[in-house]
Amino acid sequence: MAGGLKNSLKYLLWPLIFTAIGLVMAFVLGWNYTGDLGGALTFLTIGAVLAVLEISLSFDNAIVNANKLKTMSPVWQRRFLTWGIIIAVFGMRIVFPLAVVSIAGNIGPWAAMVLAAVQPEEYARVMDEAHLSISAFGGTFLMMVALSYFIDHDKEIHWIAPVEKRLSAFAAIRGLEIAAVLLLALLFSANLSAPSGAEFLFAAVCGMVTYLAVDLLGHVLDQAEEARNVAATGGLGAFLYLEVLDASFSFDGVIGAFALTQNLFLIAIGLGIGAFYVRAMTVMLVMEGTLAEFRYLEHGAFYSILVLSVIMYLQSMVHFPEMFTGLIGACLIGLSLWSSIIYNKRMRGG
């Protein structure tokens, strides 16, 4: 028991340190904005809730990251876990919202930063108006990630066998997942009003193109590295794939955060804390061999991604609370973990 706790603390050391720093920053930010203890404590509480929200929404992200990370060379693993956390915290939690407001509001990046600091309500309104495009882009990318996992003729382990065996067989039909996602995007866009439908379809196509471009670039770069004997496994291509995947997962959390606060800097602190825990879970899953020990855990994560992608599409018409999305993902991963434990007991004759 003591050894297990020690191992867990080893992975959680930096997240815990950043949690303490982040919560102090949230408190100071609240004090500067409100000038009283009550306001500072409110900011601190919201920061903690945002961190929990990010962790609950991103556990499946950690599992998928670990699945890809275990195939990468040690050099690129270290780069993902160092450069990647910088991109995740500062890129997705600060630069991405500013870029969205800059493009949607037709203003410069500095003006978007000023808007976030001086007029947070207006900043949140612009972000909310961009929600349709973000849902279509992120939903399409994540749907392609999930379907590409299941529609694979090399896939040998099946959790929900009747469904997964059939999907695996469909891999013989080239481009089936692309056609299925584009058809779904067309159906959703057709049920939206004229300007919204065109906006949704354009963003969905951009999401598809991004997935295919990253996938193609990944193959080209990794093959080039192998040819030069730089790395026997995934390198820059896999790194780019994981960064775009992390960005797609982050859309939901960034947009949902505005339901709790319009303050960009508080959102960055809260979601940044959560991002550190996601990275810690990723490392633990790789180093401890958890994915190999629990054979269906990966399946649960990809089912969770598929459900999240559908929910992102549905959010073009109906609002879903972010906690609801997180709970569905947690339930699917929990069921896959339980199934893995049952399978292990059966194999040991227990």
Q: Could you read off the pLDDT of 257-300 as tens digits, one per residue?
A: 665 676 778 888 888 887 888 788 887 777 777 767 788 888 88
Confidence grade of residue 3 (pLDDT, cut at 50, 70, 90): very low
Question: What is the arithmetic mean of pLDDT over 141-161?
Answer: 86
Residue 5's pLDDT band (cuts 50, 70, 90):
very low
Residues 6+ apart with CB under 8 A from 81: 279, 282, 283
What is the widest separation between alpha-carbon atoms in the chain? 65
**Residue 329 has which token pair?**
């993902």
**Residue 74, burial from CB neighbour count under 10 angstroms (0-12, 13-18, 19+):** exposed
Spatial separation of the C-alpha atoms in residues 80 and 173, rounded to whole Å: 34
Q: Are 291 and 18 in contact (CB under 8 A)?
A: no
Range ranked top by mean pLDDT from 27-31, 77-81, 254-258, 265-269: 27-31
Average pLDDT over the chain reads 79
Least confident of 120-129, 179-188, 231-240, 337-346: 231-240
**pLDDT (mean) for 316-341:** 80
pLDDT at 179: 94
Between 182 and 68, residue with greater pLDDT:
182
- Of the chain, the percentage scoring pLDDT greater than 90 comes to 11
Token output for 127 = 């972000």
**Of the ranges 60-69, 82-91, 108-117, which is most confident?**
108-117
Please state which of the ranges 77-91, 189-203, 274-288 shows the lowest mean pLDDT. Answer: 77-91
Backbone angles phi, psi at 234, to 5 degrees: -50, 135
More confident residue, 336 or 104: 336
- Number of domains observed in the structure of the chain: 1
- Centroid of chain to Cα 194: 30
Closest CA to 247 of 114, 65, 15: 65
pLDDT above 70: residue 1: no
| Residue whose tokens read 């203003």 | 107
Enumerate residues 6+ apart whose C-beta is below 8 A from 43.
26, 27, 29, 30, 31, 33, 34, 261, 263, 266
Single pTM value for the model: 0.72
Structural domain for 223, as ranges: 2-347
pLDDT, mean of residues 60-83: 76
Amino acid at 42: T
- pLDDT-derived band of residue 215, with 50, 70 and 90 as boundaries? confident
CA 8, CA 280: separation in Å to the nearest integer?
A: 9
Degrees, nearest 5: CA angle 313-316-321: 85
pLDDT for position 10 = 73
For 4, 69, 154, 294, the CA distances from 289, given in Å and listed in that order, are 14, 12, 21, 9
Query: Per-residue pLDDT averaged across 81-96, rounded?
Result: 72
Q: Residue 231's pLDDT is what? A: 43
295: Cα separation from own chain's centroid: 22
pLDDT of residue 2: 45
